[in-house]
Each structure stands twice: as C-alpha cells, then as structure tokens.
Amino acid sequence: MAPSFAINGGFPGTRITPPSDTGRFAAVYSEVQNSRIDHALPLPSVLKNPFVIVDGPQSTAAGNPDEIAKLFPNLFGQPSASLVPSDSAPLHVNRKLKLGVVLSGGQAPGGHNVISGIFDYLQDKAEGSTLYGFRGGPAGIMKCKYVELTSEYIYPYRNQGGFDMIRSGRDKIETPEQFKQAEETVQKLDLDGLVVIGGDDSNTNACLLAEHFRSKNMKTRVIGCPKTIDGDLKCKEVPTSFGFDTACKIYAEMIGNVMIDARSTGKYYHFVRLMGRAASHITLECALQTHPNITIIGEEVAKIETEKMLIQMVETELEKRKQQGTYKGGFKGQSHFFGYEGRCGLPTNFDSSYCYALGYGAAALLQFGKTGLISSVANLCAPVEEWTVGGTALTSLMDVERRHGKFKPVIKKAMVELDGAPFLKFASLRDEWALKNRYISPGPIQFTGPGSDAISQTLLLELDAQA
C-alpha cells in the first residue's frame, strides 16, 4: 500500500494523491536497506536534554566585510550560536511550528536524514507542528509545489541514499520576481522557518532569502545545511560537508578493486579521474585511503589533463623512447571516471548520524528564532554523544566577486591547503607509493564491525591539527 501523504500540485487549494512511482516501498528493499531503515541513530547529548542557545561574539566576513555589510544590512555582523545544556527548556520551545525544507543542487548521501532530523525534532519538541517538503529544489518554492511530510512518508527514506524523497534542483532565487514568488509561498503556508540543504551557492541563496524576509519584516526564518560531496564547503565551525565521507569510501572501494586488478594481471595501467569541481579534496582523501602510485592534486598545478589525455601522452612518450631504443616494454592504459556513483549510496554511519544531527539542530535554531545561520555540528572526532551543535553566521563565510559590473556575494570555496595536515601527510608518502606498490583495498562501506564508525582521514587529520 502506498504511504499516505498530502501533495500540492501548484494549484491553490488543490491536493491530489500522487502516482505510486513517486514513493519508495520497503517491501522491495534489500536486506541491507531494510536493516538501515530501522538503524537507531544516536544524538549529541545536548539535543536529548533541555538546552538554551547562547550567542557568540559579533561576526565579520571571510573577505571584503564592507561590501558584505552593504549586501546584507540586516544580517551582517550577527553572532554565531551554540546550543548549551540547561536545567529547563524555555517556555516558548513547545509552541507549534510550520517549517519548510528544500534540497538544492546535486545529490549527496545523507540528505534524507537531514529531513528526518528536522521532522523528529518537531515531533519531540514541538508536537503538532507541520513540515513541508518543497518538490524539485528552489523551483518548488517559487511555484509553491510541496509535500506535507508525515512519519509514514518519511519512514522508507531513513538512512537511505538519494534525494528522491522530495527531489532536488539547481534553480536559484535571484530576480525580484522570484523573491516575490518565494515571499508569496511562505506567506501562503504561514511558514515560521525554511531549511535550505545545499552547497556553497545554495547557502548563499539561503542567506539572500533570510536577508529578504527580514527586510520585509516577515516571520519566516532561514537556516542552511552544509551539503556537497566535493568537500569544499567547510571552515573551523563547519568541519565538513555531509556526503563527503560516504562518496570517498565508495570511490576508494572502486579504486581498491582496480588496484587489485592491476596486481592480478600485470597488463594494464589504470588512470582514474574523480569528481570534485575545482577542489581536490575527494582525490586527496581517496589517495590517503588507497595509496595509488601517482596522484595529481589540482591545487598543485595550473591545469590538469583528463585521464584519457594522460594515457595518450604516455603512449606518445613511450613510442618516442622505443624509436630511440631506450624503452622495450609494453603499455596498455585503462581510463575510469568515478563521479555519479558516489552521490546516492547508502550513507555511512558517520554521514547518517551527522546529517540527522544537522537537521535536528537546524529545527532547534528555527524554533529559537534564528535566521541566516548554517547548521553546525562539531567535535566530530569524539563519540556522537559529545558532538557540539550550533549555527554559524552565513555572512561570516562570504566574500564578494564582481560579475557583470556588480559585486555578488559568494561563500568562499575551501580548496586543498598545500600546508594543511592532509596534504602534508600525503606529500610525505607519495615518493614511496610511486616506486613501491603500497595499494590498499578498503572494501565496501561497513555498517557494523571493523571500520563501520571510521571517519575520513581528511577530517581526522584536520581536526587533530586544530587540537
């Protein structure tokens, strides 16, 4: 039987029963998927007991603070916030809320758990509240297309990969007309808050929405959540973006398998290219997990050739050497690109718990009236119960770029730091890996037993360096 939920088709006052193929059915899940649905997620202890929110010092910006202040006159300088234990919860905490949530940009493992965390917070702390999921990304906000999320609807998506619970999109709310549409939607649904789950561009858009709503003296608050497998949305307060841990482990498994194939045949040289946009965090993490002979980090060079061009370059050079009589061996190259395979896998234990805490924390921030923050969970090397929860001012992550003659706000991308602990660890070993086969095959993601709770080496090294 299809799960029950209400869906709005974009027409005022119209609710229809969705086609059955828009939902998931646990009855056709694998044993692993079904075991993950009912996997109990731990929460940081601060979220399990009464807490209050304490503001930190006034914030600034990652760059060009004067320009950021002009672009966000109502939000700039606001403090970040931390959840701290309290003897009793504030009186307003139990009031009913109406919240919306939207998935923005490319998929990343764990997105469903952010939504589950928001929903469960409302059930636990604000009984009788309503959560709407906007369908198809930010376009769903502009077109007022939404699903009223219920426990029955959310259940089969818990701890599952993908973004198909409400689907995502890459639209942006930028023009005055689009901001007006968003304004009309949140007023129609009487939203107290909106959670935007996305990467750097999406969270920039979240901050612009928060600024717009505040400038109009509207009650709707906006909180972001850090999503991207690329790992380039992070700072001291936001140690990692969700999905990075899972994606890297998926890619590392495939790289490890290719390495064993290379050992087994001695016939092919394998060239692997990985997803990651301008930053090379995925490549660096996978290198630390698998120990390839050669790894090219984009931040070290001006331009990287593709894996196929690298093969052609090697073939050309070896043919030249054969003609000179300096090389007599053989060479057969195999190219691989690992990208989309890592975006929708079953999230690791780390990403499952991290996303759940991010969503739970985002709902808490909204209940306390916060806006223009990104949900932040830290102390991630410790057991989950000891993680810290709060919100970081989105404007504090921003710089400006001049586009078409105007300053545009952007969240500054976190690139691989060549003097950072993960790269220095890699650099200290790369010469040995180049000459000696030190291959590691990590195997598939584990949910129980050895390795099931391991966090990425990048995060481990970065947090250890900050300690």
Residues belonging to the active site: 230
Q: H-helix or E-strand containing 223?
A: strand 221-226
Q: Closest by alpha carbon to 289, among 444, 464, 127, 413?
A: 444
- Considering Cα of 206, then 207, then 213, then 218, what sign does the dihedral take? positive
Q: Are 146 and 133 in contact (CB under 8 A)?
A: yes
CB neighbours of 142 closer than 8 A, spacing ≥ 6? 171, 173, 178, 181, 182, 185
Query: Phi, psi (5° rounding) for residue 219?
Result: -80, -15
Query: Phi, psi (5° rounding) for residue 413?
Result: -70, 140
Residue 186: helix, strand or coil by DSSP?
Answer: helix
- Token pair for residue 316? 């050309």
- Token pair for residue 416? 């691989």
- The residues that bridge with 314 in the sheet, in sequence order, are none
Cα separation values, 163 from 92, 217, 344, Å:
33, 32, 8
- Pairing relationship of beta strands 168-169 and 146-148 according to DSSP bridges: unpaired
C-alpha 220/C-alpha 222 separation (Å) is 7
